[in-house]
Amino acid sequence: MRSVVSRPLSPRAMAQAFALLTVLGLLTCHFHQAWAQRKTLSGTWSATAMTERFNVGEWGPKCGPRPGGQGAPGGTVTITQQGNELDIRGAGRSYSTTNCWEQAPGLQRVSHSASARGWSNRCATAANDPRQATVVTTISATDDAIHFDETGSYQFMLEGQACTASVRRTRSFRLIQRQGEAAVGATPPAASSVASAPPTTSATPPAVAKTVDDGIKNCASPGEPARLEVRPARKLLRAGDSFSFSARVVDEQGCPASVVPTWRVVQGTAKLSVSSTGKVTAEENSPEGTADIQVSVGGKSVRVSVEVASRERYESLLEIRGLNELGETDEVATAMIATTSLGSGTAVAEDTAKKRKTIFAVVVGGGALLVVLVGLFFLRRGTRNRRVESDEPMAPRVVPKVPLSERMVVGAPPEARSRQRHEVFEVDRAVQDKPPPVVCPLCKQEYPAGSLFCPNDGTRLVKVAAISGAPKAATGICPTCERAFPLEQKNCPQHQQPLIPAPLFNASSLKRAGVEVKQGKVCPTCGSRYGVEATFCGKDGTALMLVNS
C-alpha cells in the first residue's frame, strides 16, 4: 500500500511563490499609476462663443414668436474638477456638467452619466406637460481641449396648431493654464523683476491674454472640414409630417466650418422628399416603411434613416424602436471628411473614457488571472515532487465472514419417503448480529436469511416479523406432488388432485425405514444440490431437476 506524506514547502518553492506575487503586485501598481497619471482639467481655459442654431419645422401664427439663437459670449473661464464633474465659471454664466445648459421652465434632468473625460445629460418635460421638450447635452474632453454639444427638440399644440422646432448649441474650450502648472507659452520672469514688482491680481498676464485671443481666433478662422455630424441618426415620422435634421461640419479643432452639406433620398420604400437645408417631408400617401437619406460633404457621406408610420401605429412604434417621445434617437451619424481618415460611416457618440476604463479592468484582471494560474501550476508541481512512498506496510482490512453450511437431509426411499420437511440452510448460531431468518407463508418452514423461495412449494419467502402474531393458516397438500397450497384452494393446479389438509396428510403418511437415496436433484440455475424430495431451489425458486447421486 502507498501513502502520500505532505512536507513543508521547500525554500525554492517559497521563493517561486514570492516572485509570482511580486510580479503580480508590480503589474497592478504599473497599471494603477498609468491610470492615475491622467492630468486634471482644473485651471484657466479660453471659451469660444456659443453657437445656437434653430431649425423651425411647423410654426404657425398661434405658436407665438419664432425661436431664434441667443448663444453666449466667449472669454476666459475657470474650470474646477470635482471628482468626475466639472464646474465652469465665466463667459456668460456658470455651468456644471451635472445638468443641461438649457434651463427652461418644466425641464428636468432625467438621466446623467459621467467619467474622467466624458459627460452626458438628458433633460425632458413631464409626460403630462403640453409643451413637450427634450434636451441632450454631450461633453467630451482631452487633456487640453473640451467640446460642448447640446441638441434640443420641441413639440406642442396650441389651439389646434402644431408647433415643432429643434436647436443645436456648440462651444469649445482650449487650455490656457492647468492648475499647478505654468501658463502655456508663458516666460518665467527674472528674479530682480519679481522682487521689485508689486503683486497684482486684477491684470491678466500678457501670455494668458494672447492665448485667449488665439483660441477665439482659431474658431474665427476655421480650418478645412474634418468631420460631418448629423442628428438624429434615426427618425420616426407620421405620413404627411415634416422634420428638419441638424447637420454640423467642423474642422479638426471642433470649430464650425462654413460648408453646406448636400441632402438626397437614396433608397427605401417610404415616399420622402428632402430640401437643401435638411427638411424631410413624408407624403400623405406614403406607405409604411423606411428610407435612407444621404448627407455628403467633400466626397464623404453619411446616411440617416427615416421611418414612416401610420398615425394609428405611431405610438406603439416609439416603444418598439426604442425612440424618445419625439420619435428620435440620441445617436449621431458621423463621417470623417479629412484626407487622413480611413473612411466614413454611421457612429454613435460615446464616452471613450468609459471604454478605456473597461479595457484597463480587463487587462489587469487578465494579467492577475494568468499570474495566479502560473503560480498554482508551479505549486502543484512542487507538491507532486514532494510525494514519497512510505515503506511501512499497512495492515490488511479484516472483513468478517458469516459461515454458512448447506446440508441435505436424506429421506426415505421414494416408495416410503418421509412426509417431513427438511432444512436447506443452517446459520452458524455463534455469529453475532445475524440477520433475521425468513419463513414460508404456506408451510411456515423457516430458512436462513438470503433465501428467496421455499424449496418445497416454490412460494416466495417473507420475514418472520411479517407473519408474527397472525394465526397460522391451514394448508392443503397435493398427494401427487406434495406441494402445499392455501386452504381455500381445493385442487392442485398442476395435477388436478383434491388437496388433503396438512395435519391429515402428515398423520396418514407411512414412514418407512430409511434407505440411502441413490438419486438427488440439482438446480439448473445455481447448481445447488438437494434431495429427491425437494421440489424447488431455496435460492432462486427454480424447479429442480433429477440427477444421479
Q: Quick one: pLDDT band at residue 526, thresholds 50, 70, 90?
A: confident
In a domain, 364, yes or no: no
User: Grid coordinates standing for 424?
Assistant: 436447506
What does the pLDDT look like over 205-226, one tens digit per residue?
343 334 334 444 456 677 788 8
User: Grid coordinates standing for 236?
Assistant: 420616426
In a domain, 95, yes or no: yes
Is the domain of 217 the same as that of 271? no
Q: Quick one: pLDDT band at residue 189, thresholds 50, 70, 90?
A: very low
Is the domain of 45 the same as that of 171? yes
> Are residues 94 and 47 in contact, defined by beta-carbon separation less than 8 angstroms?
no
Counting residues of the chain whose pLDDT is more than 90, the rounded percentage is: 14
Across 288-297, 389-398, 538-547, least confident range: 389-398
Q: Read off the pTM.
A: 0.35
> Are residues 147 and 130 in contact, defined by beta-carbon separation less than 8 angstroms?
no
User: Grid coordinates standing for 228?
Assistant: 460631418
How many domains does the structure of the chain reveal? 3
Does the CA dihedral 418-420-424-427 come out positive or negative? negative
Average pLDDT of the segment spanning 100-105: 86
> Are residues 80 and 87 in contact, defined by beta-carbon separation less than 8 angstroms?
yes
Q: What's CA 153's distance to the chain center, in Å?
A: 36
pLDDT of residue 11: 65
d(CA 322, CA 339): 35
**CA triple 483-489-491, angle to 5 deg:** 65
Domain end call among 307, 324, 350 = 350
Is the domain of 210 the same as that of 261? no
Q: Quick one: pLDDT band at residue 27, thresholds 50, 70, 90?
A: low
> Are residues 529 and 522 in contact, defined by beta-carbon separation less than 8 angstroms?
yes
In a domain, 8, yes or no: no
In a domain, 408, yes or no: yes
Is the domain of 451 the same as that of 476? yes
In a domain, 28, yes or no: no
- The DSSP bridge partners found for residue 519 are 548
pLDDT of residue 191: 34
- Which distant-in-sequence residues (6+ apart) come within 8 Å of 10 by Cβ? 382, 386
> Are residues 168 and 53 in contact, defined by beta-carbon separation less than 8 angstroms?
yes
pLDDT of residue 157: 80
Query: Phi and psi of 217, rounded to 5°?
Result: -65, -35
Q: What is the chain's alpha carbon radius of gyration, rounded to the nearest angstrom?
A: 50
pLDDT of residue 44: 93
Q: Is the pLDDT of residue 107 over 70?
A: yes
Classify residue 251 by its DSSP letter: -
Is the domain of 100 the same as that of 214? yes
d(CA 521, CA 514): 18
Is the domain of 182 the same as that of 166? yes
Q: Is the pLDDT of residue 26 over 80?
A: no
Q: What's CA 311's distance to the chain center, in Å?
A: 38
Q: CA nearest 548: which of 523, 520, 524?
A: 520
Could you give the maximum distance between any two Cα atoms of the chain, in Å?
Answer: 151
SS3 502: helix
Q: Is the pLDDT of residue 36 over 60?
A: no
pLDDT of residue 73: 85
In a domain, 3, yes or no: no
Q: Provide the residue type at 454 as one letter.
A: C
Is the domain of 323 the same as that of 429? no
The DSSP annotation for 257-289 comes to P--PPEEEEEEESS-EEE-TTSEEEE-TTPPSE
Alpha-carbon distance values, 274 to 264, 265, 295, 301, 302 (Å): 6, 7, 11, 16, 15
Q: Quick one: pLDDT band at residue 401, thresholds 50, 70, 90?
A: low
pLDDT of residue 100: 93
Is the domain of 216 the same as that of 251? no
Is the domain of 416 the same as that of 494? yes
Query: Phi and psi of 484, rounded to 5°?
Result: -95, 140
Classify residue 505 by its DSSP letter: H
User: Grid coordinates standing for 122?
Assistant: 438628458
In a domain, 392, yes or no: no
Of 338-347, 398-407, 482-491, 506-515, give the range with the top mean pLDDT: 482-491
CA atoms within 13 A on the CB side of 313: 13
The DSSP annotation for 102-126 comes to ---TT-EEEEEEE-SSEEEEEEE--
Q: Is the pLDDT of residue 150 over 70?
A: yes
Q: CA nearest 87: which of 147, 42, 47?
A: 42
In a domain, 294, yes or no: yes
Of 196-205, 281-290, 379-388, give the range with the top mean pLDDT: 281-290
pLDDT of residue 267: 80
CATH number at residue 269: 2.60.40.1080
d(CA 336, CA 315): 35
Domain end call among 280, 315, 350 = 350
d(CA 78, CA 459): 104
Is the domain of 216 the same as that of 255? no
- Which distant-in-sequence residues (6+ apart) come within 8 Å of 33 by Cβ? none
Range of the domain at 140: 41-187+205-221
- Which distant-in-sequence residues (6+ apart) come within 8 Å of 384 by Cβ? none
- The DSSP bridge partners found for residue 167 are 54, 152
Of 171-175, 356-360, 399-403, give the range with the top mean pLDDT: 171-175
Q: CA nearest 541: which of 402, 465, 440?
A: 440
d(CA 376, CA 207): 60
User: Grid coordinates standing for 147?
Assistant: 467640446
Q: Provide the residue type at 268 as one letter.
A: G
Q: In 10-74, at which residue ranges do the beta strands (DSSP E only) sit?
A: 43-47, 51-59
For the chain, what is the mean pLDDT? 74
pLDDT top residue among 71 and 206:
71
Average pLDDT of the segment spanning 430-457: 76
Q: Is the pLDDT of residue 38 over 50?
A: yes
CA atoms within 13 A on the CB side of 411: 20
Is the domain of 257 the same as that of 123? no
pLDDT of residue 470: 46
Q: How many residues does the chain have?
A: 549
Domain end call among 197, 221, 245 = 221
Is the domain of 211 the same as that of 67? yes
What does the pLDDT look like over 258-285, one tens digit per residue?
788 999 998 888 889 999 888 999 998 8
User: Grid coordinates standing for 341?
Assistant: 481618415
Q: Kindly report the number of other CB atoms within 10 A of residue 209's CB atom.
A: 14
CB burial of 28-64 (b: ≥16 within 10 Å; e: otherwise) equals eeebeeeeeeeeebbbbbbbbbbbbebbbbebeeebe
Q: What's CA 189's distance to the chain center, in Å?
A: 60
What does the pLDDT look like over 286-323, one tens digit per residue?
899 999 999 998 788 889 999 999 888 888 888 888 88
pLDDT of residue 467: 63
